[in-house]
Structures are given as structure tokens and as C-alpha cells.
Structure 1
Amino acid sequence: MPTRFSHPDHPPGVALKRIPLRKAAVLFIATVCLCLCGLLYLQLEQSRRHDLSLAQVASSNLTRAMAQQAEDTFMKADLVLTSLVDWIQADGFGPAQRPRLQQTFARRVLALDQLHGILLFDQKGQWVVTSFENLPRGAGVADREYFKYHQQNVSSVAHIGPAIRSRENGEWIIPVSKRINDRNGHFQGVLLAGIKMSYFDQFFKSFNLDDSGSMFLGLTDGTLLARRPFVEAQIGASLSQNEIFQKFLPLTTSGNAMFTSIIDGVTRLYGYRQLEAYPLVVAAASSTESILAGWYDTAFRSSLIVALVLLGVGLFGWVFIHQVRVGERVESDLRRAQEALELIATHDSLTGLANRRLFERALDIEFGRGARQASPLSLIMLDIDYFKRYNDTYGHVVGDHCLAEVARALKSCCHRKADLAVRYGGEEFAVLLPDTDLHGAMTIAEQIRRSVIDKNISHTGSPNGYVTVSLGCYSFVPSGRDSMDVFVERADAALYQAKHSGRNRVATLSMAGGAEALMRSDR
């Protein structure tokens, strides 16, 4: 019968808790792995941001140098044009002045490496004077963008137009031009200085860029003037949809941005800067692949090391958890064996009832509890009537069966978990009833007596012809100084009285007026 008196070293009602070692091990290993992965991610992310930050600084410095070089290049050409325009507007460019102008143009071109040539056109776009020895032949330049611009604009500011091929020798040039007026301010022609695109190409090549890097010079409207790497088909292409022109230049004239090029589809980190003196934009970019090449190598090696560590932790964890599982199985087997031994040690193997060892342990606990709570404690002692005759008549095997049937009847009447049914010895049984007074004990005792009779176990050695039991009840309130032996003896005395009075009955022993009073029940 289940009972709360299951462990001698723990008070009743206290459940034994064990640490779920396997779950804790899994959680610990998972936490270690997550921490390692988290630390790796943080370290790699910090390293990546550091590399990108260094690349941004380098890109900003590079675009600053490019902007300075471009501004110096165009400013020198602008100054040459300005001085020549002032001279031409003052002295004209008639046949008498042309030889001197040609010599001056040629000297200025020799003085500036970036200049392809200086050319003067009249109001119809025809060549008048050039820095070359021979005038080019052809239809003139009236169809050129820069010529149309000066025809329609009276501004004396230098105009930088889209890159063109020189009609003198086919070389790519960037035209810087100024309008020439007569004394009345009417349009008289255009003075042009052609800047070699190869000059910027050589300048771009002086910087150490990766194979996928790029540099470009463009107008603020997005027209591409020069680019590294040089692709002739891209010269004059529009970059107006480029993110630099769409998103960033409207907000700030210089900065850094990472995006994918619309020209070749390569993702790069760009540094860009708009010139202050001229409508030009320079940009330099390194591919993210080259910027992060060292980071990728570090990330691979770090990830490999962490992966090996995780593998080691995982293998160790697997072995450890496997051992924990084996240990748990062994512990479970030992626990079951211990429970079996405990059951054997505290219960009768024939009837399944508690034995005297458990009965004495329960008495000790209930005496203390009853004394603390001032609650009554009752004991029923019962004995099978004429059991020796039963054994002699039917044999010990059938006698054991009879004992088991009586035990089942006993257990069926013990409805509370705290009630303890005991095989006290031989054919004698006991029922310990905590928090039960004498009246309650008598009621249960009568239920037991009737339950045994209802089983109708044949017994020819009994006057009744069937198995009956005699029961003795005793109840008292423990005070803390009581003797368990006396308690059992008094219940046993009540049982003796029931047997002496004719058996198959319930007798009680109580204290009244300082003397024991006997009450019988034979229903």
C-alpha cells in the first residue's frame, strides 16, 4: 500500500529533487558554442569595420589628391586661355597677328604637358590659328558642343565640355574653351585648349589600385570625361543614374559610399569630391573584395579554428552526455533496485502490506505529529479466527491464500493515504489510523470485519463455517512522552478481549475514570 513513510532520512511531504544533469550539460555546451560563435562574429565584424574605415580614409585622401590635381590642370589651362583671350580681344586675330599668335600658342602648349593644343575658331567655327604648324582642313567645329555653348552664352567663364576626338590627329581630349567677343560684345569666335585624356590616364595609373578598382573624372551632370580602367566605349557615357550623383552629391560635395557600379557591376567603396572652382567631380574606388581580402583570410582562419574548437566541444559534449545517459540508466537501475529492496525491507512479500519495520517507523513519526498537532491516533489489531485449524485442514499453501485475501479486505477499507495496513506477524494484522478517534477506528474495524465475511472464505474448522476475524481498537492523543510498546499492548489487549469474548467481533479499550473500560461490537 502506498505510504508517505518512504525514506528514513527525509521528512514526510518533502520531494527529493535531482539536478537534470543531461539537460544542464546540453545547455552548457550549447551556451559555450553560441558564445564562441558570438565572440567570433563580434571579432570579425569589428575587424571588418576597421578595414573598411581604413579604406574610407585612404579613399578620401586619394580623391582629395585627384581633386587637387584636376583643379590645377584645368586652372593652368584656364589661365592660359584667359591671358590669350584678353590679347586677342584687344589686338584682334587678323592676318598680321596670326603668325605671332601661332608661335605663342605653340610655346604655351610646350610649357604645359597636359595640353594637346590651343585652337582659335572664328564666328563660323572655322580654324583661324592653332598651336600646330599646319591648319587642319575640314568643315570646322560649328557642330561641336562647346562652340554651340559659346554662341548661345555671353559668359566669359571657361567652359569644360564632354570629351571629344581631336579632328587634328584623332586623340581624345577634354575641351576647355572661352568665348571671344568684339569691342561691342558680339560673338567673334572661340578659343579652345584641349587637355589630353592620356594625361589623366597617366595620372590615374600613378596610384596603386587593385585590378577591380576604378577612378573617374566627370562633369557634375554625370558625363564621364576620363576613367581608369580606360574603356573607349564608355567615354562620354552618362553617370547621372550613379548613386554618387543621385544620392550623395545633392547632400554633400565629398564623402564615401559603397554601392555596385552601373558600368561594370562591381561593388566598390567610393570616395568622391566635387571641385570648388569647376563643374567637375572626381571619384576613386576600391573593390570590396580587395579591401576585405585580408579580412576574408583572417575570417577563414579564425572560423576554421573556432570550427575545430566547436567540433572538439561537440565531441566532448557527446561523450559526456553519453556517459551521463549511461550514468542515469545505472542510477535508474540502482534506484529501482533500491526501491525493490526498500519494498522488501518494509513490506510483507506474501500480502503486500507493510511489515513491522515500517510499522515502527510510522509509529515514531505519527507519535511526534500527533503530539505537535494534539490529534488522536488509533490502532486496530486483528487476528484471523481459528487460523491454526485452517492451516491444519487446508494446508499452508491455501493458508497463504487466505492471508492474502484477508490483506486485500484490509486494504480495501483503508481509504486514506495516511492509513497504514500492516502484517504484524503470522495471522495477526494491524491498521494504524492517524488523526482518527476511537469512533472512527471502530467504524473502520467493523468495515474490515464485514469485508472479510463478505469474501465467504470456507473454513470448516470455524463454528461459522467461513473465515472471520477478531479486532481490537485503541485510540489516544499522544503527549510526546508516550511508549509505543504500551500503545500496541493496549490495542493487543482489546484484540485479546475480542477473541476471549467469542471472536468475530470488534472490541475497544479506552481510558475512563482512570480505569480501562471494555466495549464490544458483534454485529
Structure 2
Amino acid sequence: MPIPIHDPNHAPGGALKRLPLLKAAVTFIAAVCLCLCALLYFQLEQSRRHDLDSARVASANLTRAMAQQAQDTFVQADLVLASLADWIQNDGFGPSTRPRLQQTFARRVQSLEQLHGLFLFDKNGQWVITSFASLHRGAGIADRDYFKFHQQNASLIAHVSPAIRSRQNGDWIIPVSRRLNDAKGNFQGVLMAGIKMSYFDHFFRSFNLDAKGEMALALSDGTLLARRPFDESLIGQPLAEEHIYKHEPSSAGAGDAIIRSAPDGIVRLYAHQHLQAYPLVVTAAMSEEAILAGWYGTAFQSSLIVALVVLGICLFGWVFVRQVRNSERIEADLRKAQEALELIATHDSLTGLANRRLFERALDVEFGRGARQRSPLSLIMLDIDFFKRYNDTYGHVAGDHCLAEVAKVLKSCCHRKADLAVRFGGEEFAVLLPDTNLPGAMALAEQIRRSVIDKNITHSGSPTGYLTVSLGCHAFVPSSLDSIEVFIQRADSALYQAKHGGRNRVAALSMEDGLCALERSDR
């Protein structure tokens, strides 16, 4: 038996599906790129959070130091005011005591570098005593906020007011004042210590801060007292709408927030600390740009490296996908060529019917199946009557056309998928009928014979005057002991008997009945 050209159990593409491979490759490449980008994102985000957390710790430490220094500054001034207030309330500030009070004021100012000066005002806001050698003779301070506060409030606790320009010499000072009462508890005047704003500016400069950073001292309501960098236009302005004042209440003690500054639009990390003894708050702000300067450099380098790696993977993937697609196209072309070769190798080019090679392969398969299932197998052999005369009369081209017309009849009569019409050789044809007994084969053979006659193909060399065929049928149930060659020979013997009996008829050969002939003619 010939070796099959194409094994149906190993169809092209069965062992390796190209399309799933292409999808898997694209998915894998995309997953790798996404994983690299995700790892980069998480690593950079973790690094960014670490830098911000470190900045928060540094800012918190800075604000604690600022708060401690500010509180010590105001406590020292408050202690001076408290001791002087007790002395004045006991001894008064009459003309006899004023020289000694002025000297005491001057010594106290010299002992504390943060003090601009000490001032005593009567109940009308007029100058009484100052730490300066010459007493200011100008208008009083009845219009000052701190004076109005003490005039209207009976509390003897120190009061911190918004920064002002001293009327003594024009310097910026932060007033810390106390109310003075007479023996009956009536308002007697105000004792005020002016703290130099330059003192805080010098203190702020002792800290290393980036060029876009800020440090500030403010009242708890957000009114600015001192600031680095110094901006005179902001002093005394309410900053309640900026940074931590609109995010954190004064009772929060300490905290931080990343906010875009309203005046200059710079994003900063603002840390704040409220003083325990006074309604004051200190803030320290570092620009996000300075905090993340190192991170930006690392992020750029890491992103560039990952981008190059991803680009390399994508280029490799593009080349790989192109190769897979080329392989797929090549395989499809090979599959088409193989199918065409298979068709050429197993089918007759003139009639389109199966050839001897496919017929022998089908016989081998059906013999095995019939033996296993004990099902009948039939074979019809047919031959065109007087075909040599037809060729001699009409020529070989007409003969080829005649063969093609008979092939069409066979195709039209074989309705089942398992039926196989074969050009056996020359003008001889065969029809293999699985699961078909002898009566069924004879019925199909008669249908074929009548269909050929219905074609009305003129044949002057035939006694009937038109083209006819003779058919021989054989059917049996195959077994492992039976021979394919014997099976074909018996069908061929039935065909011989049909031709020997006058042609244009169907003859059958069975194992039980021997030879029986069924003659058909158009008479």
C-alpha cells in the first residue's frame, strides 16, 4: 500500500498553534513592561515618601527649637514686666520715683538682647517712663491695639500684640504688655516691653534653610509677627487663609501640611508648633522642590534606564512578533501547497474524482472498520461502453469531455459523505459504498446507469446510438481473513459479466448467490 502523503492525525498547526503563541508573546511582553513600570513607580513613590518623611521629622525638630526659643524670649520679657509691674503698683510712678525707674528700665533692656525697650504709659496713653535716655514727647499711644486691649480688659496677664513700628525710633517691635491697676483696681496705665523683630530675624538666619523656604512667628489667629525672608508688606497681615492656619486649629499643638503658598505659588511643607504659654505659633516651611531635589535626579535616571529597557523589550517583541507572523504566513502557504499537493496526489485531474491511491487508502480503512463493526461493504465497478469507438469517432478531446460528464453523474449520485467515487483507470470507474448491502449497491448502480442515459450523449459507435455504461456490483461483510485484491476482482468479475451479457446493464456478484445479472436497456 502507498504511504499516505498527509497524516490526518497530525494536521498542520496541531502541535503548535501560532495564533495563541502570538497572543502569549504579546501578553508576556506587555506584562513585563507593565511590571517594570509598576516596580519603578512603587520604588520612586517609596523613595519620595521617605524623603518627605525625613523632611517632616527635620521640620518638626526645627519648629520645636523655634518654639522653645520664642517661648524663652517672651518668658524673659514677661518676667521683667511682672517684676516691674509689682514694683510700680506698690511704689507708684510719681516724679520722685521716675529717675530710678528709668535707670531700672535701662539696665533691664541691657541685660536682655531681645528687648528694644521698656515703656510705661499712663491711663490716657501718654508717655511716662522709657528705657531710653530721652523721653518721647510726641502723641500718646491711646490708638494702639495693646493699649485699647488693656483699657477694656481687667486681666493682668501679659498680652502679645501685632508687630508695630516704635514711635521712639521707628524700629519694628513686637509689643508684650501688662495692665497696671491702682490700689482700688482701677486702670492706671500700661507697661510694655518691645521685642526687636531683628532679634527673630537673626535667630531665623541661624538655621540652614533652602532659598525658597520660610520661617515665621505669628499670633494664633495667623497675624504675622516676624518672617524670614523679611517682607514688610506682610507684617501684621492676617494669614488665616494661608498654609496651616486653614488646615489646623490652634489646639492641635503641632502638625504639618504640604500646601501651595498663596503669595508666591510655591509648594512647601509647612510644619507648625504652638507655644504653650502664649497665643503664638511658629512655622517652618521647606519647598517641595528642595526636599525632592535628590529624588528628582534619581527618578530621572531610573526612569531613563527603565525606558531604555522597555524600549529594548518592545523592539525585541516587535521583531519576535514579525517573525511569528512571517512563520504563520509561511506555514499557511505551506499548508495550502500541501493541500494542493494532496489533492493532486489523491484525485484525478481530469474528472476531479478520487484516484487509485486514495481508493486503496479508503479500502484499507473501510476493511478495518467493517471487520470491527461487522458492517457490509459494497463496491461498484463501471465501464463506458464502446469508449474506444467514441474516441476514434469524436477524438480524444471529446473523449475527455465524455469522461468528465460520467464523473459528474457519479458525484451527483453519491449523496453520502462516506461514499467515494473513483476513476479507476482509463474509462473505468468505481464507487466504494461503506455500510451498504448488495441491494443498496445495485439500486445506486441502476441510478447511475439511468443518469448516464439521461445525459443523451450521442455515440454513433454504440448499438443504442447514445452513451451507456455497464456496472458490476459486489458486497460482503469483511473480516481479517479477507483480501482487498479479491474484493476488487469480484466486483470486476461482475462488471465483466455485465459487459459480456450485452452491456448497458447492472450485474451483481455475491458470496451466497454466485453471479446474478440485472439487464437494463432502452428498448
Q: Using structure 1 for the length normalisation, give the TM-score.
A: 0.92
Q: How far apart, in 1, do the equivalents of 2:245 and 2:112 lie? A: 31
**Contact 2:381/2:495 (<8 A) preserved:** yes
AA at the equivalent of 2:123: Q
Q: How far apart, in 2, do the equivalents of 1:387 and 1:80 lie? A: 142
1:79-478 maps to which residues of 2 (within 5 A)? Answer: 79-249=79-249, 252-478=252-478
Q: CA, structure 1 residues 269+388, in 2 after alignment: closer, same or farther (shift >3 Å)?
A: same
Deviation at 1:388, TM superposition (A): 1.8
Q: Deviations over 1:152-208 (max 9, x none)?
A: 111111111111111111111111111111112111111111111111112222222
Does structure 1 residue 522 correspond to structure 2 residue 511? no
Q: How far apart, in 2, do the equivalents of 1:516 and 1:15 lie? A: 49
Unaligned runs of 5+ in 2: none
Deviation at 1:252, TM superposition (A): 2.9
Q: How far apart, in 2, do the equivalents of 1:306 and 1:72 lie? A: 53
> SS in structure 2 opposite 1:57?
helix
> SS in structure 1 opposite 2:252?
coil
AA at the equivalent of 2:164: I
Q: CA, structure 1 residues 206+250, in 2 after alignment: closer, same or farther (shift >3 Å)?
A: closer
Q: CA, structure 1 residues 76+9, in 2 after alignment: closer, same or farther (shift >3 Å)?
A: same
Partner of 2:27: 27
Q: How far apart, in 2, do the equivalents of 1:172 and 1:521 lie? A: 138
Q: CA, structure 1 residues 476+99, in 2 after alignment: closer, same or farther (shift >3 Å)?
A: farther
Deviation at 1:251, TM superposition (A): 7.4
Partner of 2:7: 8
**Contact 2:18/2:324 (<8 A) preserved:** no
AA at the equivalent of 2:445: A
Q: CA, structure 1 residues 217+495, in 2 after alignment: closer, same or farther (shift >3 Å)?
A: farther
Deviation at 1:272, TM superposition (A): 1.6
> SS in structure 2 opposite 1:248?
coil
**Contact 2:250/2:274 (<8 A) preserved:** no
> SS in structure 1 opposite 2:173?
strand
Q: How far apart, in 2, do the equivalents of 1:63 and 1:478 lie? A: 104
AA at the equivalent of 1:29: I
> SS in structure 2 opposite 1:409?
helix
Q: Deviations over 1:394-415 (max 9, x none)?
A: 2222212211221122122223
**Contact 2:498/2:517 (<8 A) preserved:** no
Q: How far apart, in 2, do the equivalents of 1:173 and 1:90 lie? A: 28
Deviation at 1:323, TM superposition (A): 2.8
Q: Deviations over 1:407-464 (max 9, x none)?
A: 1221222233333222122112222233344444334333333332232222111222
Partner of 1:500: 500
AA at the equivalent of 2:514: E
Q: How far apart, in 1, do the equivalents of 2:158 and 2:519 lie? A: 133
AA at the equivalent of 1:500: H
Q: How far apart, in 2, do the equivalents of 1:489 and 1:250 lie? A: 114
> SS in structure 1 opposite 2:264?
coil
Q: How far apart, in 2, do the equivalents of 1:121 and 1:6 lie? A: 121
Deviation at 1:234, TM superposition (A): 0.8
Q: How far apart, in 2, do the equivalents of 1:133 and 1:439 lie? A: 147
Deviation at 1:480, TM superposition (A): 4.7
AA at the equivalent of 2:218: G
Comparing 169-178 with 465-474, greater Cα deviation is found at 465-474
The percent of aligned pairs where both chains have the same amino acid is 71
Partner of 1:57: 57
Q: CA, structure 1 residues 209+391, in 2 after alignment: closer, same or farther (shift >3 Å)?
A: same
Q: Deviations over 1:242-285 (max 9, x none)?
A: 24222223673212211111222111111122222111111111
**Contact 2:201/2:227 (<8 A) preserved:** yes
CA RMSD of aligned residues (A): 2.4
Q: CA, structure 1 residues 349+68, in 2 after alignment: closer, same or farther (shift >3 Å)?
A: same
> SS in structure 2 opposite 1:432?
strand
AA at the equivalent of 2:150: H
Deviation at 1:17, TM superposition (A): 5.9
Q: CA, structure 1 residues 373+152, in 2 after alignment: closer, same or farther (shift >3 Å)?
A: farther
Q: CA, structure 1 residues 225+10, in 2 after alignment: closer, same or farther (shift >3 Å)?
A: same
Deviation at 1:147, TM superposition (A): 0.7
Comparing 201-210 with 185-194, greater Cα deviation is found at 201-210
Deviation at 1:501, TM superposition (A): 3.1
AA at the equivalent of 2:6: H
Q: How far apart, in 2, do the equivalents of 1:246 and 1:164 lie? A: 25
Deviation at 1:51, TM superposition (A): 1.4
> SS in structure 2 opposite 1:233?
helix
Q: CA, structure 1 residues 380+70, in 2 after alignment: closer, same or farther (shift >3 Å)?
A: farther
Q: CA, structure 1 residues 416+271, in 2 after alignment: closer, same or farther (shift >3 Å)?
A: farther
Q: How far apart, in 2, do the equivalents of 1:443 and 1:248 lie? A: 103
> SS in structure 2 opposite 1:410?
helix
Partner of 2:17: 18
Q: Deviations over 1:37-93 (max 9, x none)?
A: 222222212211221121111111111111111111111111111111111111111
Q: How far apart, in 2, do the equivalents of 1:6 and 1:280 lie? A: 97
Q: Deviations over 1:318-337 (max 9, x none)?
A: 23333333333333332222
Q: CA, structure 1 residues 330+179, in 2 after alignment: closer, same or farther (shift >3 Å)?
A: same
Q: How far apart, in 1, do the equivalents of 2:262 and 2:351 lie? A: 92
> SS in structure 2 opposite 1:33?
helix
Q: How far apart, in 2, do the equivalents of 1:72 and 1:83 lie? A: 16
Q: Using structure 2 for the length normalisation, give the TM-score.
A: 0.92
AA at the equivalent of 1:516: G
Q: How far apart, in 2, do the equivalents of 1:483 and 1:104 lie? A: 141
Deviation at 1:296, TM superposition (A): 1.2
Q: How far apart, in 1, do the equivalents of 2:133 and 2:391 lie? A: 149
Deviation at 1:146, TM superposition (A): 0.7
Q: How far apart, in 1, do the equivalents of 2:139 and 2:267 lie? A: 44
**Contact 2:423/2:430 (<8 A) preserved:** yes
Q: How far apart, in 1, do the equivalents of 2:503 and 2:338 lie? A: 41
Comparing 401-410 with 449-458, greater Cα deviation is found at 449-458
Q: CA, structure 1 residues 442+148, in 2 after alignment: closer, same or farther (shift >3 Å)?
A: farther
**Contact 2:472/2:495 (<8 A) preserved:** yes
